[in-house]
Copies of this chain bind each other. A is one copy, B any other.
Amino acid sequence: MSNKPSLPQGTRDFGPEVVRKRQYILQTIRTVFELYGFQPLETPAMENLDTLMGKYGEEGDKLIFKILNNGLDNPAKEAASREAFDKVLTGKSTKDLTERALRYDLTIPFARYVAMNHGQLTFPFKRYQVQPVWRADRPQKGRYREFYQCDADVVGSRSLMNEVDLCWIYHTVFTRLGLSGYELRINSRKLLAALAEACGGAEKMMDITIAIDKLDKIGLDKVKEELATRGLDEAQIATIEKYLQIEGSNEEKLAAITELLGGSEIGNKGIEELRHVWSMMQEAPGNGDSSSRLTPQASRPHLALDFTLARGLNYYTGIIFEVKAPAEVKIGSIGGGGRYDDLTGLFGVPDVPGVGISFGVDRIYDVLEELRLFPDTVAQGTKVLFFNLGEQEGRAAWGLLQALRAEGIAGELYHESAKMDKQFKYAEKKGIPYIAIIGSRELESGTVVLKELATGKQEPVPFAALAERLGGS
């Protein structure tokens, strides 16, 4: 059949169980953002094409989904449309054909929002945003054309307290999700700047950053090769190798980096900032969670200084973060972020510095799934199914069900009088933990036969005791 329906490549339907598990992750993150004084923002799925183009590099521009203008088949507009289309074919500006596009990330729309509203906003402005973004990337395992981003940023403040809070947000979220083996790494772009200085000048910083960023993937030897290709000489490469090989405790690392780069002003600034953030992590009681899940040892962020952290080719200028999933799952980065000097300059509003972090929701989902960390109750919807055993029995069941729902207990009555077997299967397939049976005998005695599917155990429960037995909300 030719009209068999399908989904666009790289997109996904999320059925009930997956939606519930995703909501559990997103709700945990949102709750922690709120605890730290961040406020929600939502921007539209489409932005003016102008707002997006030229913000993500040449490669990025090609991956933006553009929306075709409506009314192109209006004969009056034909000449203009044709002209516009000629421009599209040569990759030029295309306002007559498309003037809107789907959001590619949450940062540029946030910058656009701050630039448009900076007169009304209270600074520092702490916002979080949890929305889908779209990219015309080639779909492959773990890479989708529609996926959620989950960001928190503080803008209008240079205080390192923000960095400290963001570290604690990571820790609190991952602790609440039961992911105690995560690793939080930090570095400062200022050290990379100082390293570039030590290797012949600031203009080398981009080459060095690009090469270092590949260390995890290609190893030290290949990084050295790449540095050579990019024009660094042996002495410079030796300095970089020394930098990359710094090891030990955070305290030992700080000593070593001071020896290597402490002579430079910017290097010293970076070291000072890292030391400040790290020392603040040692203070204050753990606040991962007050639940029993949290052992005392796990209640403080595992913060590791990692000078090999580079965070690709973005706009960061200060402290940068990266979170790695526990090593046993081989999933890699599940979050990252950093400090930038200028969020809104592109939109004509200068001097808005800030710092932000992001959670990789799809990957966190995979980690929790692989480590079986989703609580059993997350995927549960309906708590009890009432069997429907006839007109009168059904009505009695429905009355009782309404009383349960009023107590906050999610329940259903099977939609029609049918064989017990069929009704039983419905409960089983839908993962409903309890069934409640009211036949003619139960109707007389005012009791329900309550059966727990997991154990097969069943017992009679008086109508009036059912809500308490099932535990309201």
Contact = CB atoms under 8 A, between A and B. Distances in A.
B7 A44 contact: yes
B5 A45 contact: no
Interface string A4-22: 1111100111111001100
A42 B67 contact: no
A314 interface: no
A410 B172 CA distance: 13
A7 B48 contact: yes
Contact of A285 (B1, B8, B13, B406): B406
A157 B286 contact: no
Contacts of A71: 62
B416 A157 contact: yes
B122 A46 contact: no
A81 B97 CA distance: 13
B283 A122 contact: no
A395 B283 contact: yes
A124 B382 CA distance: 14
A348 interface: yes
A200 to B, nearest CB: 36
B415 A161 contact: yes
Contacts of A63: 70
Contacts of A66: 67-68, 70
A21 to B, nearest CB: 11
Number of identical monomers bound together in the oligomeric complex = 2
Contacts of A73: 88-91
A230 interface: no
A41 B15 contact: yes
A317 interface: no
B381 A37 contact: yes
A134 B13 contact: no
Contacts of A415: 124, 154, 157, 159, 161-162
A402 to B, nearest CB: 4
Contacts of A127: 16
Contact of A14 (B42, B45, B146): B42
Contacts of A51: 5
A168 interface: yes
Contacts of A287: 402-403, 405-406
Contacts of A164: 398
A164 to B, nearest CB: 8
Interface in A249-282: 280
A345 to B, nearest CB: 11
Given A37-B410, A134-B46, A430 B72 contact: no
A241 interface: no
B122 A8 contact: no
A305 B251 CA distance: 76
Interface string A117-148: 10000101011000010101000000001100
Contact of A89 (B34, B37, B82, B409): B82
A97 to B, nearest CB: 7
Contact of A6 (B3, B85, B90, B116): B116
6 shortest A-B CB distances, which residue pairs?
A287-B406, A16-B39, A11-B44, A37-B412, A73-B91, A19-B40
